[in-house]
Structure 1
Amino acid sequence: MTLRENGNEKENKNRNKNENKKNRLHIFPRKLTAKEIALGGVMAAVMAVAAFIPVTVVAGVGKVISAAVMLEPLIGVILGPVLGMYAAAAGAFAGQILAPQGAIFGLLTFIPPTVGATAAGMVAHKRWKAGSLVMGAVILLWYSTSIGRQLYYYPYMPLLFLGLVLLFRNNLGEWIHVKYNEVLGFKGKGIGILIAGLSVFIIAYSGISVITDEVYGLGVIMGAVALILLLLSITKDDLQLKKGSAFTFAAAGVVLFITALQPDYLIFMLTLIFMGITFVLLALILLEYYSRYELFLFSLVVSGVFGVIVMLQAGEILILQILSSGLIIAGVFLFVLVHAHHKDSFEKWSGIAVFAGGVLGVLQRILLLSSDSQLIKRELVHLESLPFLTTISGKEIEISSVLDFYTKKVFIIYSEHIGWFLVFIALMVVGISLFLNVSVEKLAVAYFVISGFAVLSDLMIGNFLAIHVLDLSAGIFKAFLFIYPVERMFMAFFATIFGVGVIIPLKKFGIINLIRR
């Protein structure tokens, strides 16, 4: 190596060191541009308006949590930690005056969303150390109270997301701030999210099947396992996983055939039979013993039609769920045509159908989650009247203890919702990748981690204020030990869907580049 090359290398190292030092020290910008201030005002106004939209009721207080909490990550990501903090504080302060039904802590209500937006901005803009300190500080505030020391295990979810931020500390800022043309190059296309959703669904549905004695549940669970193996074989290009998927699909089909003899309801029996035929045909196609897709597509559509009839004849008609199922089946149908018969013109429509099915599925899950959460909250308040009867998946079960209630109902219900949300979000990502040739998996993962970090920072500072301002007892926090953090996870889900939907167009048209911090 020549002296000149040595000198250039040292110069580059010094330059990089100075830039890193500059980035570490300049958390606070020296000067804001007019565009940044104007955008900050717009985001503050949006947050104030969002205060009018209730999301959930705070038990025992008579107040509501508004949709403004789901804007915290977006404000932090777009505006950065400092301008985001100002915008969130201004918007939340105005919102608590304009919409007093959400002013849980009176004039102090603006503090939690300000902390949440600041934490999101720090993590999203490569200030993960400062962001971790914020989360650590609000957790320490919890432990500074007697209730916090009594319920020392309460911050399990904030600690989990603090760990995720530390784990992905070098990736979150990169994944969030990639340019639009770099988003086009991402790989994965929702498969990882879909695998996670199916895994959670299997856990939840296994519990439901055991508790309610659903004999056909084993076939559905085996079908989900087979689909996971198939997705893994695609990502890893593993022939053995593909064969394992095929044999599991075949076994699931046989189980569905056997269990189809049990129900007295003819339409439901036909649904199970055609679903079993679909699984067996897919297994034969994967093993390359059968090459014609027509019969597979026919059985898929027929099982979907019978399934829709079953839903229509159920006691509660879920229109969005029916439409979602129909669109997803149509998307799969078109996708098979694209790859089996090289109908490339159908790929875009396949993506649109799958994306629309995912959106409608998420909307239906929001409604079901809201209904289930309200029922669970009412039952939690009356846990002293044990034992009592409740329902899960349409069947009555007896609850004899608090542990019984959490294991038999709360955990299973929320796990089922989480699983379905992940599945529908994955379908939206897959749909986007098909009709826009854009994969947002890494962007979505980064945004979800940042969203969870923000709303849980908000929750912990809110808990501290609830103890001192509202004088809440330890009993309330103990009763809602699982409910409050999990509700925040669903808020993070919704915030991710909304935020990614906003950020992608901003990236495409270059508007996101207005913000330098």
Structure 2
Amino acid sequence: MTLGQRVRDRIDVIVPQRLTAQEIAFSGIMAAVMAVAAFIPVTVVAGVGKVISAAVALEPLVGVLLGPVLGTYAAAAGAFAGQILAPQGAIFGLLTFIPPTVGATAAGLLAHRKWKTACGIMVGVLLLWYSTSIGRELYYYPYMPLLFLGLGLVFRDHLGEWIHVQYNELVGFRGAGTWFLLAGVSLVGGAWALSMVGGLWIPGIGVVCGTAGVAGILVSVVKDKPGLKKVSSGLVAFSGIATAAGAYGMYSGPILVSVTILGITCVLGALAVVSGRFRMWFLMSLSALLASAALALGIEAVSSGADVGWYPLFRLLACTALILGFLLFAVVNFRISESMRKWCGFALLGAGILGLMQQVLLLSLQSKVMKSELLRLDESVPFVTGSLGREVTVTSNLAYYLEKVVPLYMNHLGWVLVFAALMILGISYFLNISLEKLSVAYFVISGFAVLSDLMIGNFLAIQVLELNTGIFRAFLFIYPVERMFMTFFATVFGIGVVIPLKRFGLTNFVRR
């Protein structure tokens, strides 16, 4: 091959010469979606008065579907149009389109078996960070991008394969989200345990014991450990007693009744696991759960009218869908009606999606409070703040992180995984497909894209906005973790788009 031919081949890669009508149309659609997403705020950038939009969650999808070349063009066009149409998200002025373009490019390269170039992009944005005086001072700031750089290297030979598996290769899933559920429950329990560093309280002990018991039951089912199942059931029963006992010192009226019935539900559920008469105890536990949930939803419906925003509505809808899913799950598994299997999957899938949305909205609300507290942390210590349903007295910066920031984000991450497990269970019932390899690949690719966006954005924030070291130090934990939640949301949304494409055989026009 002559030098001229090599140059022409390189140009063809960077500037495609032969595009089909489908590719042109699809690129235009994705660019338009990116532009529209700029109108949807996700989080506020402290000290700037601008917002980060939902377009961040679309970067991986654009790269995966269109590839590294068309994906780059579509993301750049969509992000550039978005910053003009929605100036509230134009953090860096006319340069705002650069971070999402870099993110989509990294995702496209990683998803299309060009991991060396993708890792080179991540290394490049990290070097830009370290080229600044702030970057050299806060050398430990990019811990999350370094983690995903490592994941990209570990899975380098599999990501391109797993992301393009055919629909018929996905059929036959048997895990049904068990490991996601186990990880989520463990994180929730760990968050509540960490929140009690400043002092024990009965409801917190109940939550920790309950989550430990549920995690133990899940492990005993997967690994077939009868002894562990009995011990774990005892923890669940104890958590029910602790929950009911703790409620008497905190609540009154209908809320007290609802929490007490919930405690009884835990005891009955534990008996169902260890007793030989599973069906009787399970039905009694389910009846108690329905009574508690009906009362709680009634209270929620009455009180949510005074709340502002979409979060109470999504919380109410998620709980309703979850209860309906549990009912249908019992109907299917007791062989009462196999025809309800798909409806059960649909209800659980809806509960998972609505639950994820309410977690994102709640996280956004709580992040605003934490950001304002972090900005004045040195001046206001000691002060009283709320953490996981109780008031804590913050006596130092370390205490604030240990008793509020870390537990709150661990709790959110745990619930995100729980709702993701519900989605996987629902999809396995509704469509009978596996998401194991596809979800792992998409999560790594999403994290790679979103964190590449973050680091190039940090560099621009230093150069364009002239942010100081104090801002980055104050949000050392919050900004990377917020991007992790964006990664989860991007993964859920992206898989929700990719699965129908695979299901109906529409992947033939996706550029590789």
TM-score normalised according to structure 1 size: 0.88
Question: In structure 2, what is the Cα distance between the partners aligned to 1:121 and 1:181?
Answer: 24
Q: Does residue 382 of structure 1 match 2:376?
A: yes
Question: In structure 2, what is the Cα distance between the partners aligned to 1:395 and 1:507?
Answer: 46
Question: In structure 2, what is the Cα distance between the partners aligned to 1:197 and 1:44?
Answer: 34
Question: In structure 1, what is the Cα distance between the partners aligned to 2:269 and 2:143?
Answer: 42
Question: In structure 1, what is the Cα distance between the partners aligned to 2:85 and 2:265?
Answer: 55
The residue aligned with 2:435 is 440
Can you list the C-alpha shifts for 1:249-288, whole angstroms capped at 9, x where unaligned? 3333444455455456254443344333333333333224
**Which consecutive unaligned segments of at least 5 residues does structure 1 have?**
1-25
1:454 equivalent among 440, 443, 449:
449
Q: Does residue 280 of structure 1 match 2:267?
A: yes
Can you list the C-alpha shifts for 1:75-119, whole angstroms capped at 9, x where unaligned? 010011121112112222222233333222222222111110011
Question: In structure 1, what is the Cα distance between the partners aligned to 2:251 and 2:62?
Answer: 54
The residue aligned with 1:270 is 257
1:423 equivalent among 415, 418, 422:
418
Residue pair 2:46, 2:371 contacting (<8 A) in 1 also:
yes
Can you list the C-alpha shifts for 1:215-257, whole angstroms capped at 9, x where unaligned? 1222222222222222223333444443343333333344445
Residue pair 2:107, 2:445 contacting (<8 A) in 1 also:
yes
Question: In structure 1, what is the Cα distance between the partners aligned to 2:492 and 2:161?
Answer: 19
Residue pair 1:358, 1:425 contacting (<8 A) in 2 also:
yes
The residue aligned with 1:64 is 51
Q: Does residue 303 of structure 1 match 2:292?
A: yes
Question: In structure 1, what is the Cα distance between the partners aligned to 2:107 and 2:251?
Answer: 54
Question: In structure 2, what is the Cα distance between the partners aligned to 1:237 and 1:213?
Answer: 33
Residue pair 2:41, 2:51 contacting (<8 A) in 1 also:
yes
SS of residue matched to 2:331: helix
Distance change >3 Å, CA 249–CA 137, structure 1 → 2: same
Deviates more, 1:85-94 or 1:135-144: 85-94
Q: Does residue 320 of structure 1 match 2:322?
A: no
Can you list the C-alpha shifts for 1:336-367, whole angstroms capped at 9, x where unaligned? 23223443123222222222222222222222
SS of residue matched to 2:42: strand
1:367 equivalent among 342, 361, 372:
361
The residue aligned with 2:191 is 204
Residue pair 1:186, 1:442 contacting (<8 A) in 2 also:
no
1:489 equivalent among 484, 489, 511:
484
Question: In structure 2, what is the Cα distance between the partners aligned to 1:50 and 1:255?
Answer: 45
Deviates more, 1:334-343 or 1:406-415: 334-343
Deviates more, 1:474-483 or 1:226-235: 226-235
Question: In structure 1, what is the Cα distance between the partners aligned to 2:50 and 2:286?
Answer: 51
- Map 1:5-154; keep pairs closer than 5 Å: 31-34=17-20, 35-154=22-141
2:494 equivalent among 493, 499, 503:
499
The residue aligned with 1:349 is 343
Deviates more, 1:383-392 or 1:270-279: 270-279
Distance change >3 Å, CA 487–CA 211, structure 1 → 2: same
Count the aligned residue pairs: 493
Question: In structure 2, what is the Cα distance between the partners aligned to 1:295 and 1:195?
Answer: 25
The residue aligned with 1:411 is 406
Deviates more, 1:506-515 or 1:69-78: 506-515
Q: Does residue 395 of structure 1 match 2:420?
A: no
Residue pair 2:107, 2:449 contacting (<8 A) in 1 also:
yes
Question: In structure 1, what is the Cα distance between the partners aligned to 2:24 and 2:350?
Answer: 36
Residue pair 1:386, 1:400 contacting (<8 A) in 2 also:
no
Can you list the C-alpha shifts for 1:348-406, whole angstroms capped at 9, x where unaligned? 22222222222222222222111111111112222242223322245333223222222
Question: In structure 1, what is the Cα distance between the partners aligned to 2:248 and 2:432?
Answer: 44
Question: In structure 1, what is the Cα distance between the partners aligned to 2:350 and 2:380?
Answer: 43
Distance change >3 Å, CA 69–CA 506, structure 1 → 2: same
Distance change >3 Å, CA 126–CA 239, structure 1 → 2: farther
Question: In structure 1, what is the Cα distance between the partners aligned to 2:114 and 2:463?
Answer: 30
**Deviation of residue 409 (structure 1)?**
1.6
Question: In structure 2, what is the Cα distance between the partners aligned to 1:99 and 1:59?
Answer: 18
**What percent of counterpart residues are identical?**
55
The residue aligned with 1:336 is 330
Distance change >3 Å, CA 226–CA 442, structure 1 → 2: farther
Question: In structure 2, what is the Cα distance between the partners aligned to 1:216 and 1:390?
Answer: 18
Distance change >3 Å, CA 85–CA 30, structure 1 → 2: closer
Question: In structure 2, what is the Cα distance between the partners aligned to 1:221 and 1:348?
Answer: 33
Question: In structure 2, what is the Cα distance between the partners aligned to 1:314 and 1:175?
Answer: 46
The residue aligned with 1:177 is 164
- Map 1:148-297; keep pairs closer than 5 Å: 148-209=135-196, 211=198, 213-256=200-243, 258-259=245-246, 262-263=249-250, 265-291=252-278, 292=280, 293-297=282-286
Amino acid at match of 2:445: I
Distance change >3 Å, CA 263–CA 464, structure 1 → 2: closer
Can you list the C-alpha shifts for 1:413-467, whole angstroms capped at 9, x where unaligned? 2222111111112212211111222232432232122111101001101111111
Distance change >3 Å, CA 237–CA 171, structure 1 → 2: farther
Question: In structure 2, what is the Cα distance between the partners aligned to 1:157 and 1:285?
Answer: 42
Residue pair 1:190, 1:439 contacting (<8 A) in 2 also:
no
Can you list the C-alpha shifts for 1:18-77, whole angstroms capped at 9, x where unaligned? xxxxxxxx9768654312233222212221222222222221222222222111100010
**Deviation of residue 472 (structure 1)?**
1.4
**Deviation of residue 123 (structure 1)?**
1.2
Amino acid at match of 2:474: A
Question: In structure 1, what is the Cα distance between the partners aligned to 2:16 and 2:504?
Answer: 27
Deviates more, 1:116-125 or 1:307-316: 307-316
Amino acid at match of 1:349: W
Deviates more, 1:499-508 or 1:376-385: 376-385
Can you list the C-alpha shifts for 1:278-315, whole angstroms capped at 9, x where unaligned? 33333333224323243222222223234435545768
Question: In structure 2, what is the Cα distance between the partners aligned to 1:339 and 1:369?
Answer: 35
Question: In structure 2, what is the Cα distance between the partners aligned to 1:256 and 1:407?
Answer: 24
The residue aligned with 2:8 is none
**Which consecutive unaligned segments of at least 5 residues does structure 2 have?**
1-11
**Deviation of residue 484 (structure 1)?**
1.1
**Deviation of residue 325 (structure 1)?**
2.0
Amino acid at match of 1:121: G
